[in-house]
Amino acid sequence: MIDAVVFDMDGVIVDSEQVWDAARRDLAAERGRPWPQAATRDMMGMSSLEWPRYMHDEVGIPEPAEEINDEVVGRLLAIYRRELPLIEGAVDAVRRLAEDFRLGLASSSNRPLIDVVLELGGLTPLFEATVSSEEVARGKPAPDVYVETLHRLGVAPEAAVAIEDSHNGIRSAKAAGMGVVAVPNPHFPPDEEALALADVVLDSVGGLTAGVVRAARIPA
C-alpha cells in the first residue's frame, strides 16, 4: 500500500532546470570562463554545497563557493518572484494526489527557493515534509534527500513513490528503495539507463493520478 508521494521540485513542479543552467552559464561568462561540455549534466541534482564547489573547481569561477551559491540563488529568487515558471498541470497534479496520499518534497534546490516556489504556487499547506539537499550530507544521485524526507514523514520506502524528471533524481529515489514515476525533462532528459530504473514513465506531469502512483508500487 502506498502511503506517501514525494515530489522532486525542479523539472517536476517548476520549469527551472534551464533557468538554473542559464544563471550558472551567465555567471561563468561574466567571469570570462568557458562552459565545460559536461557541466550542465554533472550539476543536475547536486546539493547546494556540491554545485558551487564544482563551479569554483571545474568551471573556474574565482569567488569562494559560498559566494557563488548566494549569487546564483539570488538570481533565481528574482526570476521566481517576477514570474514563477510553473509546469503546466503540476499544481493540479499535486492537489489531486494530496487527496489520496501524504505528500513530501525532496529537492536539490536551496531552502529559500523551495519556500518561495511552494508559497507562490499555493502549495505550502499540502506538503507535510520538505527537504533541501543543503540539509543532508550528499545530493542526488545519493539517496540522502529522499531518505530524510521519508524519515520526517515517518513512512517506509516501500510505501512511498517518488516523482522525478532527471537521471540523478531517478537514481536517488531508487537508491532510497522507493517506487519511481518518471516524467522526463524535455530540456535535459534522463539517459536510457536511468529511465529504465523507473517503474512508470509519463509524458507529462498532468497525467499523474492516484492510479499511476499505485502502479509504481514496488512488489513486496
CATH code of the region 4-15+85-215: 3.40.50.1000
Please give the pLDDT value at position 88: 96
What pLDDT was estimated at residue 218?
Answer: 56
Could you list the beta-strand ranges (E) of 31-74.
none
CATH class of 17-82: mainly alpha
Cell of 201: 514513465
Please say whether the dihedral angle defined by the alpha carbons of residues 201, 86, 47 and 95, taken in this order, is positive or negative: negative
Q: Mind listing the pLDDT tens digit for each residue in 138-150?
A: 989 999 999 999 9
DSSP for residue 218: P
Q: What residues are paired with 124 via a beta bridge?
A: none
Can you give the pLDDT at residue 220?
46
Tens digits of pLDDT across the chain (220 residues): 999 999 999 999 999 988 999 999 999 999 999 999 999 988 887 888 889 999 999 999 999 999 999 999 999 999 999 999 999 999 999 999 999 999 999 999 999 999 999 999 999 999 999 999 999 999 899 999 999 999 999 999 999 999 999 999 999 999 999 999 999 988 888 889 999 999 999 999 999 999 999 999 855 4
Where does residue 25 rank: exposed (0-12), middle (13-18), buried (19+ CB within 10 A)? middle
Q: What is the domain partition of the chain in residue ranges?
A: 4-15+85-215, 17-82
